[in-house]
Amino acid sequence: MIFALCLDNEGYEVSLELRKLYPVLPPEPNDPPEYVRIIDESGEDYLYTAAAFEVIELSPQLEQRLAATLK
């Protein structure tokens, strides 16, 4: 699973927290390329501009531990 760090939540203050890691889902066929599909604070996935996030490469161990918290 890929995770991204939120660096800009302007306009989405309720849905996204600054400096928080969010799970990134694979894009759906019609998703615009400049957007990423994020599981936000609602627990649902929504499209957000990719410029608001930085994808973080995690060690396999940390990635597994974080993914386990989502279940």
Find the domain containing 6 and state its range. Answer: 2-50
- pLDDT tens profile 7-60: 999 999 999 999 999 999 999 999 999 999 999 999 999 999 999 999 998 888
Domain-located, residue 68: no
Q: Per the structure, how many domains does the chain have?
A: 1
Domain-located, residue 28: yes
Domain-located, residue 55: no
Q: What pLDDT shows up at residue 68?
A: 87
Instruction: Output the 3-class SS for the chain.
Output: CEEEEECCCCCCCCCCCCCCEEEEECCCCCCCCCEEEEECCCCCEEEEEHHHEEEECCCHHHHHHHHHHCC
Domain-located, residue 8: yes
Domain-located, residue 63: no
Mean pLDDT of 62-69: 85
